[in-house]
């Protein structure tokens, strides 16, 4: 119990008073470091795309610096009922 109080004091004194601002979200930092193409991912699921049985739309940005947009077309070829929407001028986070 004493350790938890010490950790709480440390966080209150040194971490919580500061507002950290990252230029990217934590998720995009983790994702960007592991994905460059379909084959360098840690969890490669490309072989399972053909299992999708529902209508699917693959959405991509044409200026995605993490995974180039031509991968959207590669994925769509493997999905039975798939359409592709490429947003011009958009990067990795298309919304």
pLDDT in tens, 4-25: 777 777 666 665 555 545 455 5
Residues 32-50 have a mean pLDDT of 63
Closest CA to 44 of 83, 85, 75: 75
Residues 72-76 have a mean pLDDT of 91
- Answer for the pair 93, 65: CB distance below 8 angstroms, yes or no: no
Per-residue pLDDT at 25: 55
Q: How far apart are CA 32 and CA 72, in angstroms?
A: 17
**59 pLDDT band (50/70/90 cuts)?**
very high
């Amino acid at each position: 119990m004493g350790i938890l109080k010490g950790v709480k004091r440390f966080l209150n004194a040194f971490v919580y008073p500061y507002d950290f601002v990252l230029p990217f979200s934590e998720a995009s930092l983790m994702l960007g470091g592991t994905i460059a193409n379909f084959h360098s991912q840690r969890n490669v699921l490309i072989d399972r795309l053909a299992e999708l049985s529902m209508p699917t739309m693959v959405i991509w940005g044409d200026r995605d610096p993490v995974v180039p947009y031509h991968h959207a077309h590669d994925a769509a070829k493997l999905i039975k009922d798939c359409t592709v929407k490429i947003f011009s001028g958009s990067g990795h986070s298309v919304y």
